[in-house]
A and B are shown apart, each in its own frame.
Chain A
């Protein structure tokens, strides 16, 4: 056999192997959608990927069983709020840490680095009492404040700082000559040049908030305040057993839009995660 033939065989084998490995990655999504359309009896019958009878009513019942539209909206607006706040706060602090000299900068960096090492689970108990004493239990405030100022926000700050450090200084110096203030330089020169970093922070922050579970679980108690992950885990009958078809229909509704956006912007999204590199 020639080298070329060996190469072709080699590649075919790899592709086949990859296709087999891909099954448990794709299969759950397919099954989620299909089971969402099935009736309770069919869901436990002989497995088939396509429902014999498409039961669209599941997707309507999802909205009557829980205030699902409201919960969807909650997740959306909280994720947007966390993303916008994180973008502003992390780029401000990241800019100062990259470009400005000030007493205490070194100590501040050290403190922030140490925050990266401490998981939210460690501080969640005192934070619960703090939020309770502020009277903010069963509101969305803790879901906006804790992620913005927690380890995730610190990670975003470092990501922004890293990016600002790599930018050329000349434009900023020119801006100063033209009489721009610091805040003007940050807003008109530094931020427009850091679109890739801002996009990365926006993507990972939005997903972080969208998928957040521990905080909603601890702080929220009324159905109208729930966010999506909490709502999804709540599709149970009065015995606490899952209402599978409703639960999977709701999961489909929660997962599919994100998945579609991901399929469109796959490259941008994976690169954002590669850039942050500290999740999971």
Chain B
């Protein structure tokens, strides 16, 4: 009850049971209601549903969902060799992409965190692919990487190298997808690293330089430790992003050749929307959910340990 408010206004403006506190609460819930309603309909509901779907047999033959418990997971994890092939591809993709992306992002950020002639030009160039649609990016690279008559191979031929048929051989296709994805996304991590580097006080570095430390020593002993929190965040979001890659693969290789670039997100799409194995696709989605959740929790855990 709010007694400080004059009786008259309370009677004139609003119903007597609306104290200031309940009024504020109602208003707050009105403010968040679009978010909450959307969240329930398009997120929480579907999340609960996907758990249920993952425990059903539901495909083109059955036409409707029959509860089968954990059979889908049993099939996925123990009986289906395709699944392990897909996991292997996703892991190879992540292991190839994450270190390459982060090392390049950090190198570029170190070069571009201080003003010099041309710094804006380089930042603009390295970030440009980030804002470009992944489909557009993949179309152009697929064009450049064709086996015969492809621009890259014709250029290699000029220096006497016979380039492989990049997107038709499983291992080369995987390498090509990784490298073109790194070029597409590295600008984002570069920007995050630049922001972190610009927050490092210049005195630290100058003091270390005065003590006679080399550039490399300044980096390993002063800057790198200060970047640790940023590195952790970038590591986790880049890894999660690599498990989610879909449009890039869809356009460049379609999961091929010989399923050589069939990764988890693409496999979910294929099973759910191409082959209509809804139950099985839902089980795959649950597995992806667990992977992403685990990565996020590891990040939270390391951060907690770091601050203690």
Chain A positions within 8 Å of B, measured between CB atoms, are 11, 14-15, 17-18, 21-22, 24-29, 31-32, 35, 44, 46-47, 88-90, 92-93, 95-97, 100-105, 108, 111-112, 115, 117-119, 121-130, 145-146, 148-151, 153-154, 157, 182-183, 186, 207, 210-211, 213-214, 217-218, 228-230, 232-233, 242, 244, 247-248, 251, 254-255, 258-259, 262-263, 266-267, 269-270, 273-274, 277-280
Contacts and interface: CB of A to CB of B under 8 A. Distances in A.
A19 to B, nearest CB: 8
A117 B292 contact: yes
Interface string B231-262: 00100011011001011001100000000000
30 contacts: A18-B112, A22-B125, A25-B125, A26-B125, A31-B151, A47-B155, A92-B31, A92-B32, A96-B31, A105-B28, A115-B39, A119-B292, A122-B292, A123-B43, A125-B272, A125-B282, A126-B46, A129-B49, A149-B39, A150-B42, A153-B35, A182-B31, A229-B247, A233-B251, A247-B143, A259-B131, A259-B132, A266-B127, A270-B191, A277-B237
B35 A118 contact: no
Contacts of A218: 269, 273
B44 A111 contact: yes
A28 B28 contact: no
A31 B140 contact: yes
Contact of B32 (A28, A97, A124, A126): A97
Contact of B269 (A28, A44, A119, A214): A214
A90 B31 CA distance: 10
Nearest to B31: A96
A210 to B, nearest CB: 7
Which of B39, B46, B130, B149 has the most chain A CB atoms inside 10 A of its CB?
A: B46
Chain A interface, DSSP helix/strand/loop, else mixed: helix
B110 to A, nearest CB: 9
Chain B interface, DSSP helix/strand/loop, else mixed: helix
A108 B36 contact: yes
Given A31-B144, A123-B47, A229-B133, A145 B42 contact: yes
A100 B29 CA distance: 10
Interface residues of B, number: 88
B124 interface: yes
B30 to A, nearest CB: 8
A118 B292 contact: yes
B139 A251 contact: yes
Which of B24, B44, B133 has the most chain A CB atoms inside 10 A of its CB?
A: B133
Interface in B9-30: 24-25, 27-29
Contacts of A21: 104, 108, 126
Nearest to B153: A47
B192 A277 contact: yes
Given A102-B29, A118-B292, A262 B128 contact: yes
A196 to B, nearest CB: 15
A113 to B, nearest CB: 10
A46 B154 CA distance: 8
A125 B129 CA distance: 29
B60 interface: no
A243 B220 CA distance: 50
B32 A108 contact: yes
A128 B273 contact: yes
A263 B46 contact: no
Contacts of B142: 242
B83 interface: no
Given A118-B47, A126-B45, A266-B120, A145 B35 contact: no
Contacts of A25: 125-126, 128-129, 183
A1 B155 CA distance: 40
Contacts of B124: 262-263, 266
B135 interface: yes
Given A100-B28, A128-B273, A228 B133 contact: yes
A105 to B, nearest CB: 7
Contact of A149 (B43, B151, B189, B240): B43
Contact of B42 (A117, A149, A207): A149
A256 to B, nearest CB: 10
B28 A277 contact: no
Contact of B118 (A15, A27, A228): A15
Contacts of B77: none
B86 interface: no
Contact of B135 (A26, A233, A269): A233
Contacts of A248: 139-140, 143
Which of B125, B143, B191 has the most chain A CB atoms inside 10 A of its CB?
A: B143
A102 B135 contact: no
Contact of B35 (A18, A27, A89, A101): A89
A183 B296 CA distance: 36
A93 B143 contact: no
Contacts of B273: 128, 218
Contacts of A97: 32
A210 B104 CA distance: 27
A10 B282 CA distance: 55
B140 A28 contact: yes
A108 B38 CA distance: 13
A23 B36 CA distance: 46
Nearest to B234: A277
